[in-house]
Amino acid sequence: MTSLTTTFTSVTYLNITLDQADQRIDNFLFTHFKGVPKSHIYQILRRGEVRVNKGRIKPTYRLQAGDQLRLPPVQQRHSETTTPAPYFLKTLAKAILYEDQTLLVVNKPVGMAVHGGSGISFGVIEGLRALYPKTAYLELVHRLDRETSGCLLIAKKRSLLKQLHEAFRRNEIDKSYIALARGQWRSDLTEVNAPLQKNHLQSGERVVRVNQLGKPARSQFQIEKKFPIATLLRVHPVTGRTHQIRVHATYQGHPLAGDEKYGDSVFNQRMRTHKLNRLFLHAEQIKIHLLEPSYRVTVNAPLPADLQQVLHQLETL
């Protein structure tokens, strides 16, 4: 069982390196003071307890290489259990698809969260930090839903993380998903351009809806194969909004198979008779093409065996 202990840090001074530069001070503190509520981080910033080069700074200040950072004593809560279970690490180690000096690509298993929190002790990033104890820097480049499997990028250098975030913002990274949708998808429906807005229900559950007041969202759809009750699709999310593919598919009247949040319960029940026990959404491929400096990587994650079995089942209808 995991128990929590409380520790106190003394005043510390840090010199910001080139890899740490150009990130907002509040984001830096969220990572540095793990387990400290964000409200407290902003409180010590407002009070001027955090200083850069002996001066007060705003939460939006971007750190520069060579900055001297003064950090006050902060109460932190951390877990005594710091290492994921061996079976978790073994599963994660087998899921690594690609690695170089600056990047890791993992074929994230379905059901595995990308990070801990909300009752989850460990996710992909915590597991990788345990697998790579000598690697000073490991950060998620993007996220995948817990229910989604496939390609997940993790940066081993902050400089690459910054470049990839910029590339995502410019829609210069191509992500390809395989999805199974209810019914017969129209061949002329090749793109969905519908803004998305996050909402929270009274229960606290987060949902995303199409709303003209939301953020722009575009998904491109290509039919791979049609079955009597469903259509296999290749999807390229041009933007990267939360739950984008799932919500766009439902918005067009073709919810994804196995989607418990946005899907069709009757269709999901029928799909369970065809051996589908999860969301049919898999991040199959990711292509990175950075110009300066030149960096090209293409990684493929094969469709998992359980999803292949579902397709075999549908072919017999």
19, 22, 145, 174: which one is catalytic? 145
Residue with tokens 């509040």: 26
pLDDT on residue 5: 47
Confidence of residue 6 (pLDDT cuts 50, 70, 90): very low
Nearest alpha-carbon partner for 198 in 184, 208, 187, 211: 208
More confident residue, 33 or 141: 141
Confidence of residue 312 (pLDDT cuts 50, 70, 90): very high
Q: Looking at the predicted structure, is the pLDDT value of residue 35 above 80?
A: no
Alpha-carbon distances, residue 156 vs 104, 144, 167, 203, 298 (angstroms): 7, 18, 17, 37, 17
The rounded distance, in Å, linking the Cα atoms of 221 and 234 is: 6
More confident residue, 32 or 96: 96
Nearest alpha-carbon partner for 46 in 62, 28, 58, 64: 58
Angle, CA 36 vertex, CA 134 and CA 106 arms, to 5° = 40
pLDDT on residue 3: 43
pLDDT in tens, 91-100: 999 999 999 9
- Tell me the average pLDDT across 9-26: 83
* pTM for the model: 0.80
Residue with tokens 């990684």: 299
The rounded distance, in Å, linking the Cα atoms of 252 and 143 is: 24
Average pLDDT, the chain: 90
The rounded distance, in Å, linking the Cα atoms of 62 and 52 is: 10
pLDDT in tens, 224-267: 999 999 999 999 999 999 999 999 999 999 999 999 999 999 99
What share of residues in the chain are helix, strand, coil (percent, to 5)? 25, 30, 45
Give the 3-state secondary structure of residue 284: strand
pLDDT on residue 172: 85
The rounded distance, in Å, linking the Cα atoms of 116 and 111 is: 12
Alpha-carbon distances, residue 219 vs 140, 173, 177, 190, 195 (angstroms): 22, 14, 11, 8, 11
174 is catalytic: no
Confidence of residue 84 (pLDDT cuts 50, 70, 90): confident
The rounded distance, in Å, linking the Cα atoms of 165 and 309 is: 35
Could you give all domains of the chain from N- to C-terminal order, each with its CATH number? 4-79 (3.10.290.10), 86-161 (3.30.2350.10), 171-315 (3.30.2350.10)
Q: 184 and 226 in contact (C-beta within 8 Å)?
A: yes
Angle, CA 316 vertex, CA 315 and CA 317 arms, to 5° = 95
| DSSP H or E segment with residue 125 | helix 124-131
pLDDT in tens, 285-298: 999 999 877 899 99
Nearest alpha-carbon partner for 105 in 136, 150, 145, 137: 150
- Tell me the average pLDDT across 131-138: 91
More confident residue, 208 or 77: 208
pLDDT in tens, 162-198: 899 989 988 889 999 999 999 999 999 999 999 999 8
Percent of the chain with pLDDT over 90: 68
